[in-house]
Amino acid sequence: MSTARTAMLLAAMTGLFLAVGWLAGGKGGMMIAFIMALGMNAFAYWNSDKMVLSMYGATQVDAYSAPGLVAIVERLAARAGMPCPKVFIIESDQPNAFATGRDPQHASVAATTGLLDRLSPEEVEGVMAHELAHVKNRDTLIMTVTATIAGAIGMIANMFAFSSMFGGHRDEDGNGSPLGAVGGVVMMILAPLAASLVQMAISRTREYSADAEGARICGNPLWLASALENLERQAHQAPNWQAERNPATAHLFIVNPLSGQGADNLFSTHPAMDNRVGALRAMAAEMGMTWGGRMGERPAAGGSVIPPAGNPWGGGGRQGPWG
């Protein structure tokens, strides 16, 4: 269902692009804007993983520096039948995580120190499974395609607004655009807005898909459901200043890292948490699952998973959950 909805939204985005492009400059103007947007997004596709990891000051860890976390990711990747991605940790009190990379062979997953401090091992496993699902589903490719089309729409709209001020595009008969100068300004505002709405809708759809696939990878939908409830409750108690300075990266995270954007509406990059948790609990009921699991009983909400000694994340005799 989510795949069909994504396809429909991509078709809507493409239709919007074709309509705006034709009104703005005919076939020629449409192709110029598309090539420019494609070039910019191709650069982002090949380099966005390095850029976003650097932006958040992420540190790569291994089996020595963070044995527990790396072991979880390796086990989940094996269950998903995919290469193990690089594992990073971000120094941030806000519990959150994201995946990046152009394909499963060039992927990375990142978790914040706040997530490792505040969630149980089962919940961390659920979160990491969700991020691996994004990689397995090639959501980074899907979002790059939508960003390409949205960027092209914005460029075409701006070109059309500018040309409208100087007589607008004229066809072979010398006729100008029926929208005129005022229409050009209106298009400059409304076309990118409409593209952004579709882009956000696609992002929300991919979150549902990653929740379902992540639940299958970790083996218990309730682990991820519990993690999402804790993340929703705690994420906005600790601001993520890097995300606040770079809101365009908000869609990458498992929960919205921005303050004051918890509502599920057209302008949200993430679905309403009640809907996500409800879908996971329904999935667990169909599978006959209860919390349980190989790691023990469900922890108290918001409790630290770091024991006095032998913590599950660190290693090498160093203190802290990340080594």
60: Cα within 13 Å, side-chain hemisphere? 8
Tokens coding 261: 């954007």
Element (H, E) at 109: strand 107-112
What pLDDT, in 10s, does the model give residues 7-63?
A: 777 777 777 777 777 776 667 767 776 777 777 767 777 887 888 899 899 999 999
Percent of the residues in the chain that have a pLDDT greater than 90, as a whole number: 38
Residue 75: what pLDDT? 97
Domains of the chain by residue range: 2-287
Q: Mean pLDDT throughout 88-92?
A: 95
Q: What does the mean pLDDT of the chain come to?
A: 77
pLDDT of residue 64: 95
How confident is the model at residue 165, as a pLDDT? Answer: 57
Give the pLDDT confidence score for residue 120 in this predicted structure: 94
216 neighbors 207 (Cβ within 8 angstroms): no
Residue 74 phi/psi, 5° resolution?
-65, -45
pLDDT (average), residues 56-84: 96
How many CB atoms are located within 10 Å of the residue 237 CB?
Answer: 12
What element of type H or E holds 116?
helix 113-118
Q: Region 56-81: what's the mean pLDDT?
A: 96
Report the pLDDT value the prediction gives residue 316, as an integer from 0 to 100. 35
Catalytic residue among 122, 125, 131, 229: 131
Q: Among this protein's residues, is 131 annotated catalytic?
A: yes
Q: What is the pLDDT at residue 251?
A: 81
Residue 161: band (very low, low, confident or very high) from pLDDT cuts 50, 70, 90: low
